[in-house]
């Protein structure tokens, strides 16, 4: 009697270090500078996650190794209801992998383009959730630096979560940063003016996001980086002529408070050491039950339509059309010789370490990533320290030349370049320079 042979993959060792073999690969849902984001399922727990994978060769070519390691370290420190949290991190010979909370509700850019404008009550709800996330990051000594609609994801219920920590950094109470990083239209004046900045820049960016969601345009404009900088630094905060038809007087006051060029009086930054009490007590937020917000006990006023794809479905086609090499499970070379590796690959090997949230406690790398500092004096403040660069190597500076990128989104704005769950947004050039 002839034997029956079956082609089966090797059994997965779930007690060993996590790797790609622990997951089944499903559909692609986003695309970034160095790789894609796809839905994966943990073979043992059956839990769904988002897998962000980064091509090492592309990463080295764009001199972004330090960013990837920085993001890996920062994500290990973070665990919050309104942040896309890291669950696993590992690598194979070609890619570095982040396994993150899955958000199938799409990004806020996607919904803004689809709806044209977001209702005031919905924006208020998201602002409450995102304020809690920013206050948490401040307590963790982290500045996100790239808050924008593209980097805020909804879960299936409609709760908002901050993602993409690619240019995020630690800050110090006594040191200011001057490196320019993020997406220019959302940068605070102290960033574009290179005055030295700290965590308050994220609250300005949140104010720009709220403005854009409400009015489907941004408060500052410019066709070149120079004009954009001038607008952010000097232009008066001018609400649309029909603002009273769109939102309440309390909402308008909230927007002005967040877009205050003085960091000492900016909403979210006013009360030294008291977190976000000024946000909690603002008249616009008077109806918010903060305890229920923190516990996700409030039904979101906007629920994504889960019968439709809340992302650009063209990401899936690339592999089918053989535009790029599909992701596959592949075993690592046994015992790689670190001495013979390129310095960048060796750095990844040594510093992009394995993380498994079911086995490892979260830990802080602060102040591990603080570079050498220089002292300066500022006219109106006590002597401060300025960090000239946060991560040694950042992405090359992008120049805004394309009108559609620098200006507000138009109704026919092409959303095909958006990445609902990916590493970088393409709508506004991301800037990073020391």
The per-residue pLDDT for range 381-407, each reduced to its tens digit, is 332 333 333 332 222 223 222 222 223
Give residue 344's pLDDT. Answer: 86
Give the largest CA-CA distance in the chain.
92
Tens digit of pLDDT for each residue in 209-249?
999 999 999 999 888 889 999 999 999 999 999 999 999 99
Using CA atoms, how far apart are residues 210 and 217, in angstroms rounded to an integer? 10
Using CA atoms, how far apart are residues 16 and 9, in angstroms rounded to an integer? 17
CB 397 within 8 A of CB 184: no
Binding site as annotated, residues for ATP = 52
Contacts of 156 (CB under 8 A, 6+ apart): 104, 105, 304, 306
Using CA atoms, how far apart are residues 394 and 402, in angstroms rounded to an integer? 22
List 107, 146, 202, 260, catalytic entry: 146
- Record the tokens describing residue 260, joined without a space: 């205050």
Mean pLDDT taken over the chain: 80
The rounded Cα 291 to chain-centroid distance in angstroms is 25
At residue 174 the predicted structure's pLDDT band, cuts being 50, 70 and 90, is confident
Using CA atoms, how far apart are residues 160 and 82, in angstroms rounded to an integer? 6
Three-state DSSP at 40 gives strand
Q: How far is CA 125 from CA 128, 153, 210, 363, in A?
A: 5, 14, 11, 31
Q: For residues 33 and 186, which has the higher predicted lDDT (pLDDT)?
A: 186
> Which letter does DSSP use for residue 315 in this model?
G
Binding site as annotated, residues = 52
CB 267 within 8 A of CB 257: yes
Using CA atoms, how far apart are residues 55 and 348, in angstroms rounded to an integer? 12
At residue 11 the predicted structure's pLDDT band, cuts being 50, 70 and 90, is confident
At residue 365 the predicted structure's pLDDT band, cuts being 50, 70 and 90, is confident
- Record the tokens describing residue 15, joined without a space: 């007690």
Strands 142-143 and 36-42: unpaired
From the list 118, 161, 114, the residue with the least C-alpha distance to 310 is 114
**Which residue ranges form the domains of the chain, and what is each CATH number?**
20-103+309-356 (3.30.200.20), 108-306+370-433 (1.10.510.10)
- What value does the mean pLDDT take over residues 103-125? 94
Q: By mean pLDDT, which of 142-156, 276-290, 325-339 is the weakest? A: 325-339
At residue 52 the predicted structure's pLDDT band, cuts being 50, 70 and 90, is very high
The rounded Cα 129 to chain-centroid distance in angstroms is 15
> To 10 degrees, the CA torsion angle through 190, 396, 168, 346?
-150
Q: Is the dihedral of CA 287, 290, 291, 297 positive or negative?
A: positive
In our burial notation (b when 16+ CB lie closer than 10 A, e otherwise), range 249-282 reads: eebbebbebbbbeebeebbbbbeeeebbebbbeb
Q: Is the dihedral of CA 120, 125, 129, 132 positive or negative?
A: positive
- Record the tokens describing residue 74, joined without a space: 């920062």
Is the pLDDT at 21 greater than 50, yes or no?
A: yes
CB 137 within 8 A of CB 131: no
CB 400 within 8 A of CB 406: yes
- What value does the mean pLDDT take over residues 349-358? 91
From the list 248, 230, 226, the residue with the least C-alpha distance to 239 is 248
- Record the tokens describing residue 182, joined without a space: 């993020």
Give residue 284's pLDDT. Answer: 98
Q: Is 150 a catalytic residue?
A: no
Q: For residues 81 and 358, which has the higher predicted lDDT (pLDDT)?
A: 81
At residue 312 the predicted structure's pLDDT band, cuts being 50, 70 and 90, is low
Is the pLDDT at 41 greater than 90, yes or no?
A: yes
- What value does the mean pLDDT take over residues 49-73? 90
Q: By mean pLDDT, which of 21-35, 92-106, 296-310 is the weakest? A: 21-35
Cis peptide before 367 (omega within 30 of 0): yes
At residue 433 the predicted structure's pLDDT band, cuts being 50, 70 and 90, is very low
């Amino acid at each position: 009697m002839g034997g029956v042979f079956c082609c089966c993959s090797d059994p997965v060792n779930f007690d060993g270090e996590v790797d790609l073999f622990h997951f089944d690969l499903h559909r692609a849902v986003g695309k970034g500078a160095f790789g894609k984001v796809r839905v994966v399922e943990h073979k043992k727990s059956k839990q769904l996650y988002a897998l962000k994978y980064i091509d090492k060769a592309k990463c080295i070519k764009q001199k972004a190794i330090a960013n990837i390691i920085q993001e890996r370290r920062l994500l290990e420190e973070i665990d919050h209801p309104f942040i896309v949290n890291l669950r696993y991190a590992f690598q194979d010979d070609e890619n570095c992998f982040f396994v993150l909370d899955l958000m199938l509700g799409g990004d806020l850019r996607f919904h803004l383009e689809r709806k044209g404008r977001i209702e005031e009550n919905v924006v208020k709800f998201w602002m409450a959730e995102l304020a809690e996330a920013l206050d948490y990051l401040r307590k963790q000594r982290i500045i996100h630096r790239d808050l924008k609609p593209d980097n805020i994801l909804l879960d299936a219920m409609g709760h908002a979560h901050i993602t993409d920590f690619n240019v995020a950094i630690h800050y110090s109470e006594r040191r200011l940063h001057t490196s320019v990083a993020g997406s220019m239209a959302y940068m605070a004046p102290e960033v574009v003016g290179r005055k030295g900045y700290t965590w308050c820049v994220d609250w300005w960016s949140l104010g720009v996001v709220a403005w854009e969601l409400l009015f489907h345009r941004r408060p500052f404009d410019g066709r070149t980086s120079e004009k954009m900088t001038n607008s952010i630094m000097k232009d008066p905060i001018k609400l649309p002529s029909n603002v009273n038809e769109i939102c309440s007087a309390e909402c308008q006051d909230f927007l002005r408070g967040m877009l205050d060029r003085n960091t000492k009086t900016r909403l979210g930054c006013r009360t030294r050491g008291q977190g976000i009490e000024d946000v909690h007590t603002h008249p616009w937020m008077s109806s918010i039950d903060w305890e229920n917000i923190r516990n996700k006990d409030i039904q979101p006023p906007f629920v994504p339509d889960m019968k439709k794809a809340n992302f650009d479905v063209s990401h899936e086609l690339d592999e089918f059309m053989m535009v790029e090499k599909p992701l596959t499970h592949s075993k690592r070379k046994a015992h790689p010789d670190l001495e013979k590796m390129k310095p960048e690959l060796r750095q990844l090997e040594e510093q992009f370490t394995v993380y498994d949230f079911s086995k490892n406690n979260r830990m802080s790398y602060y102040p591990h990533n603080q570079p050498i500092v220089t002292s300066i004096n500022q006219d109106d403040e006590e002597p401060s320290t300025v960090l000239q660069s946060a991560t040694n190597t950042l992405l090359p500076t992008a120049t805004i030349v394309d009108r559609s990128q620098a200006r507000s989104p138009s109704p026919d704005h092409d959303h095909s370049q958006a990445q609902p769950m990916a590493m970088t947004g393409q709508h506004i050039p991301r800037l990073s320079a020391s």
